[in-house]
Amino acid sequence: MIDDAIRVLAGDCTVISEAADREEYRGRVTTIVKPDNTVLVHDVDGYQPVAWLTRADSVSSDRTDGFTLVAKKDEQTLRIAAHEQDGFAHYPSSSAGVPVGECPDCDGALVRSDGVHCVGCGTRYGVPADATICTDQSHCDCGLPRMRVERGLAFNVCLDRSCESLDEAVTEAFDREWSCPKPSCDGDLRILRRGGLIAGCEQYPDCETGFAVPTGVVDGECRCGLPSFETRTGTRCLDATCERVLERPPGAEPASDD
């Protein structure tokens, strides 16, 4: 099987689906085998396949006597036998996504779908789920678009983290900016990568205090002494369990991150 390719078989075929029951069809159909081994058999009617098998454990083909394709998953078997073959081919494929720019390496389209990838050369970039891709002229010197990510401040960094590091930007802004709230500890909070970005006590492992850096911008100080963040769902403390966030006076605006 070719990686990231869709296989297509078209022709006059007998289709046999075997599970708890056995079903058999014949007609001019088009069979699509996706890279994850999902098999879909389509005829001329409607949008629903005549038969299908989702993420088969195995898909094999035999051309010794005509063309036969067999997909198996657990106790299910889907068999497609071509009596008259109109065509069989492999077609390159990728995830479809929202266009966000052009690839500086091959001029292919960059699209966002579970990250950002190039439709042309397949290069992929990991993107935080909350990031906004800058589709204007705010491009990095490398030619890639920048993304806007809120982690205490609004940072505009390159899609390629080896080019401009979000971690380094957050660290420069907030490393040791806040004291550890544990009464018996005199350490400061460091910005660390532990799956996500956290503000963790520098006295670790003696002090295990640590908080995930939320999505949002710092807009003040909580009653506990830690910073408060303006997020999409409202104001919250760096400590997600803290309920002592200061209330703003009526009509007050959140602090600007410019």
**pLDDT given at position 257:** 38
The verdict on residue 180 lying in a domain is yes
159 with 121, same domain: the answer is yes
**pLDDT given at position 65:** 73
Reported as a pLDDT band with limits 50, 70 and 90, residue 243 is confident
Residue 110 has which token pair? Answer: 């960059």
- Range 154-163 contact pairs with CB under 8 angstroms and sequence separation of 24 or more: 154/217, 154/257, 159/110, 159/116, 159/125, 159/127, 159/133, 160/125, 161/125, 161/126
176 with 211, same domain: the answer is yes
Over residues 90-104, mean pLDDT:
91
The verdict on residue 104 lying in a domain is yes
Mean pLDDT for all residues in the chain: 90
Q: Residue 71 in contact with residue 55, Cβ under 8 Å?
A: no
Quick one: which of 153, 171, 227 has its CA closest to 235? 227
Residue 248 pLDDT exceeds 70: no
Over residues 46-68, mean pLDDT:
90
Angle at 114 between CA 111 and CA 119, to 5 degrees: 30
Percent of the chain with pLDDT over 70: 93
Reported as a pLDDT band with limits 50, 70 and 90, residue 253 is low
**pLDDT given at position 256:** 40
Reported as a pLDDT band with limits 50, 70 and 90, residue 249 is very low
State how beta strands 196-201 and 76-92 pair. Answer: unpaired
**pLDDT given at position 114:** 87
Q: Residue 71 in contact with residue 39, Cβ under 8 Å?
A: yes
Reported as a pLDDT band with limits 50, 70 and 90, residue 64 is confident
**pLDDT given at position 231:** 93
The verdict on residue 257 lying in a domain is no
- In angstroms and rounded to an integer, the radius of gyration of the C-alpha atoms of the chain is 27
Cα–Cα distance for residue pair 151/32, rounded to 1 Å: 43
Over residues 34-46, mean pLDDT:
95
Cα–Cα distance for residue pair 159/101, rounded to 1 Å: 11
**pLDDT given at position 94:** 87
**pLDDT given at position 136:** 79
Name 91's bridge partners: 6
> In the chain, how many domains are there?
3
21 with 80, same domain: the answer is yes
**pLDDT given at position 3:** 58
pTM over 0.75? The answer is: no
Reported as a pLDDT band with limits 50, 70 and 90, residue 46 is confident
106 with 63, same domain: the answer is no
11 with 84, same domain: the answer is yes
* Domain that residue 81 falls in: 5-92
Distant-in-sequence, close-in-space partners of 146: CB < 8 Å, separation ≥ 6: 133, 134, 138, 139, 140, 156, 157, 158, 159, 164
The verdict on residue 200 lying in a domain is yes
10 with 86, same domain: the answer is yes
Cα–Cα distance for residue pair 28/1, rounded to 1 Å: 24
Residue 255 pLDDT exceeds 70: no
Torsion of CA 127, 163, 92, 44, to 10 degrees: 30
